[in-house]
Amino acid sequence: MAMMRAPVRFLAALMLLLVVAFAVPAQAQQPTSVNPQAQSVKEQELLKELKKIQGRGTLPDARSEVIEQPAGRDWRQFHQVTLRWIGAIAILGMLALLVVFYLVRGMVRIEGGRSGRTLVRFNAFERFVHWMTASCFVILALSGLNVTFGKELLLPLMGADAFANWSQWAKYMHNYLSFPFTLGVVLMFLMWIAWNFPSAVDFRWLKEGGGIIGNAHPPARRFNAGQKMIYWVVVLGGGAAAVTGYLLMFPFYATPFYTTDVAGMQLAQMVHAIVGVVFIAVMLAHIYIGTIGMQGAFEAMGKGEVDVNWAQQHHSLWLEKEAGKGHVRGGGVAPAE
């Protein structure tokens, strides 16, 4: 019915315009005869038609001109229910998966034991960047989780004041550490981008389960497909978390590139939260592999040097290349066989 009416109304308006245009020389454009009372806007109708009711105010802050936006209800549902499920499933699920995997597979050992010869895998700067980012990440993750789960898990234990205190510090840390974290992500992106483009080798690696499932050890360059995935999770996820995080952090600075109205803030928070929990879940796997999941892996980021046998096992193509450049140290040039 309303759709049927629209053209009629348009025609009528057009005719009125024409009539008025001929009749009134002074102010032709606006009809003069109106009953403002009868035409008054109605809240319920506006809410049916629009997601939010917005008007004109005199304050310079445009957000103050939105007077009603019931969408907060959906966001509340997301934050209070959906997000918790996503977070719980992602993090607890990953933990469970890792536990099961550990029980089944145990630690992946260096086949043939250590050779005693090592080669540099990550230089000091790379390790510094990694650990800076990683330590920031741990604190960001914990303080972030606190926002979503803290009041259920910690508040009853700590009491309101202590929890608020901790949360306040957690918020400060979350805000401040976002800067070194973001810097770390950017540096990692630049530092390692060269080795992280997908290649044909990666398909084989993936097809063979990366040597983690089963006993095959598909060849890999400096970073295997799994590590590349971590890399891209860090770069893209970190980037998304950073962008959305800063949107949430600086609500007062609207720039020409984005507008931080409430809907935008809600969206930013949703992206930030989902990226956050997924990120955490992936990082749990990363930490597992880097520590108890694989013998010799931690040394790569710890000392920066790895055993040649470890390299042979996991990054054979990289080892060949490095060996060719004479970067293997200790024992002699050839593998000890």
Residue from the set 120, 249, 271, 317 that interacts with another protein by CB under 8 A = 249
Residue 184 makes CB contacts below 8 A (sequence gap 6+) with: 129, 130, 132, 133, 136
Interface with another protein (CB under 8 A), residue from 6, 26, 103, 104? 26
**Which span (132-140, 171-179, 180-188, 295-303) binds another protein, by CB under 8 A?**
171-179
When asked if residue 88 is in the footprint of another protein (CB under 8 A), the reply is: no
For another protein, give the closer residue by CB, 78 or 231: 78
- Binding status of residue 21 toward another protein by CB under 8 A: no
Regarding 27 and contact with another protein (CB under 8 A), the answer is: yes
Selection from 303, 301, 299, 273 nearest residue 135 by Cα: 301
CB nearer another protein, residue 5 or residue 303: 5
With CB under 8 A, what is the number of residues at the site for another protein? 75
Cα(252)–Cα(60) distance, rounded to whole angstroms?
Answer: 12
When the beta carbons of 81 and 216 are compared against another protein, the nearer one is 81
Q: Which of residues 286-315 bind another protein (CB under 8 A)?
A: none
Cα–Cα distance measured from residue 216 to residue 210, given in angstroms and rounded to the nearest whole number: 8
> Dihedral of the CA atoms 265, 270, 271, 274 (nearest 10)?
160
State which H helix or E strand residue 329 sits in: strand 328-329
Task: Show the binding pattern over residues 51-80: x = contacts another protein (CB under 8 A), - = does not.
Answer: --xxxxxxxxx-xxxxxxxxxxx-xx--xx
For residue 67, what is the enclosing H or E element?
Answer: strand 66-68
Given the complex with another protein, which of 44 and 194 has the nearer CB atom?
44
> CB-wise, 3 or 34, nearer to another protein?
34
Residue 257 binds another protein, judged by CB under 8 A: no
* Residues 335 and 308: beta-carbon distance below 8 Å: yes
Rounded to whole angstroms, how far apart are CA atoms 50 and 107? Answer: 57
Residues numbered 116 to 155 that lie near another protein (CB under 8 A) are 146-148, 150-151, 155
